[in-house]
Amino acid sequence: MNMEGLWYKECSQGRRFIIKITPGENLTTRLLQFAHLADVRYAMIVSALGSVKNVKLRGIKTGAKLPITTPRITIHEIEGPLELLGLQGNIVPGEDDLLDCHFHIMMSKSSGEVVGGHLYDAQVFATCEIVLTELSVEGVERHVSKMGGIPTLYIDEGGA
């Protein structure tokens, strides 16, 4: 269904998984491998905590216009370790029907200050505990938005 400025689609909840990723592992690589192994095509993170190190993330430059292009972003590499305070995101098929993930991360520094952004890469430090829910839905795909400059969800108009 769509209304002006908003698209939505009802989905049903599929399987739910408790996941633990061990020290030194790459967070996004392992989650995508898990999705392939468990045959999960649509999923979202419901809960995530632990600690991470060697994080690479993206911010958007203040005053930037659309579309989001390389000169309009900032890239940060943070060695850490940091407490992992949250991970929001979803796994949805992208171009060529390949699984693709979109995660935003929040972490605290030694000082208690919280940093975060669009996640490229992070390694697990001491542990990482995730609860992930599979979504059963059709007609949702991730494609690059020319207007936005970034891959985002597209929801078709048919069906539920």
Of residues 59-98, those binding a copy of itself (CB under 8 A): 59-64, 66-68, 74, 76, 78-86, 88-90
Q: How far is the CB of 138 from a copy of itself (least distance, A)?
A: 11
* Both tokens assigned to 57: 């993330």
By CB under 8 A, tell whether 33 contacts a copy of itself: yes
According to CB under 8 A, which one of 91, 99, 122, 135 is a site residue for a copy of itself? 135
C-alpha 21/C-alpha 123 separation (Å) is: 10
Q: How far is the CB of 77 from a copy of itself (least distance, A)?
A: 10
Q: How far is the CB of 144 from a copy of itself (least distance, A)?
A: 11
DSSP string, 47-100: EEEEEEEEEEEEEE-TT--SS--GGGEEEEEE---EEEEEEEEEEEE-GGG-EE
By CB under 8 A, tell whether 158 contacts a copy of itself: no
Q: What is the DSSP letter of 26?
A: B
Residue in 86, 150, 160, 149 with CA at minimum distance from that of residue 117 = 86
Q: How far is the CB of 137 from a copy of itself (least distance, A)?
A: 6
C-alpha 20/C-alpha 15 separation (Å) is: 16
Residue in 144, 141, 145, 138 with CA at minimum distance from that of residue 154 = 141
According to CB under 8 A, which one of 93, 121, 140, 141 is a site residue for a copy of itself? 140
According to CB under 8 A, which one of 138, 143, 148, 159 is a site residue for a copy of itself? 148
By CB under 8 A, tell whether 111 contacts a copy of itself: yes
Give the binding-site size for a copy of itself (rule: CB under 8 A): 95
